[in-house]
Amino acid sequence: MQSFRAVPWSSALITGASAGIGEALAEQLASRGVGRLVLVARRGDRLRALGEELLRRHGTEVEVLEADLCDPAARARVEQRLAEEAPDRAIELLVNNAGFGTAGDFVELPVDGEQREIDLNITAVVRLTRAVLPGMVARGRGAVMNVSSMATYQPTPRMATYGGTKAFVTLFSEALFEELRGTGVTVTCVLPGYVRTEFQSHLGTSEYEQAPSFVWMRPPDVARMAVTATAKGRALCIPGSMYQVAAALISPLPRSARRILIGKLSGLPAKLAALETAAAAGDPTPAGLVEADGVQGRELVAHVAGVDETDGARP
C-alpha cells in the first residue's frame, strides 16, 4: 500500500527515471507532495509521457532532461542544472538511480561496455553529487539518494564490474554521510535485491533473469521504502525484511568466507527458479539439482518460501 506521508523537499532530480525503480520513485515523490521534478534519462518520449501522467494525477510540475549520462557533454548539462541556485530552480533532493550491469566472464566482455558501466554507475554519481552538494550545504538542507545494490556485500563473479561499481557507491555514500553530519544535508544509500525491472533483460544473458518468485520485489515497494528512509535521514536503506536478514547474516563473515561462499553458490537463483517451476507443475525434482549439503533443491525452495510467508518479508 502506498504511503502518502509528506516529505521535506519541494523539488527533486531523478536519473534513470524512464522505467523501473526510477519511474516508481518519481510517482512516489509526486504522490507525497514534491511539487517540482526534473526527470533525466536517454528516452525522452518515456519521460514526457510520465511527466504528463504526474501532472494529471498529482499536479506535479515536471521538467524533462533527455541525456545519456555516459556522455560527458550531456552529463555536464545535468551538472549545470543541479548547480542552479535560484529559489524556483534549486534542487533539494538528488536521486542517483541510473545504472546498468553486464554479465559474463570479465575476460570475455567488451572493455568498452565495462567502461560505460563505470561511467554511468560511478562517474555520473560522483559528478552529479559534487554538482548539487555546495548549494545544499549553503542552504543548510537537502538530501542525496544513491541507489546501490545488495551486490555490495560480497564479490559478484560473472558480474565483476557491476558488483565493484555498486560497492563503490555504497562506500562513497557512507563516507559522505559522515562528512556532511551536522550540515543539514544527508546521503542515503539504497541497497535493493532482486527487483522486477528492465535491468535483467539488458544483461544479455538469461541466467540472471531467473530466480525463485519469493526473492523478487516490486519497484513501487522499493521506492516507498527508499523515500521514507531518505526523508528520515538514514545512511542505509535495505528494502524488504528478507534482504535485511540476509545482510545481517552476510556482514559478520570474513571477506574470504564471503568470496568462497558466493563462488560456490554461483547460478543458484536460476536453479531454484527451475525447481520452483517444476514443483508447481508437479514434476519430479530435476536431476542433478542437489545441494552440497545433501538437501534436495525442492526442499530448500519450500523451506525458504515458508520463511518468506511467515516473516512478512515481501512488503
Q: Known catalytic residues? A: 162
Gap between the Cα atoms of 241 and 239, Å rounded: 7
- Residue 137: CB atoms within 10 A of its CB come to 14
Gap between the Cα atoms of 232 and 130, Å rounded: 22
8 A C-beta contact, residue 37 and residue 62: yes
Gap between the Cα atoms of 47 and 41, Å rounded: 7
According to DSSP, the residues that pair with 64 across neighbouring strands are 39
Query: What is the chain's Cα-based Rg?
Result: 20
Please report, as a single letter, which amino acid is at residue 181. R
Q: How far is CA 48 from CA 23, 66, 128, 240, 314, in A?
A: 12, 10, 22, 31, 32
Cα angle: 299, vertex 150, 96; to 5 degrees = 145
Pairing relationship of beta strands 93-96 and 61-66 according to DSSP bridges:
unpaired
Q: What are phi and psi of 145, to 5 degrees?
A: -115, 120
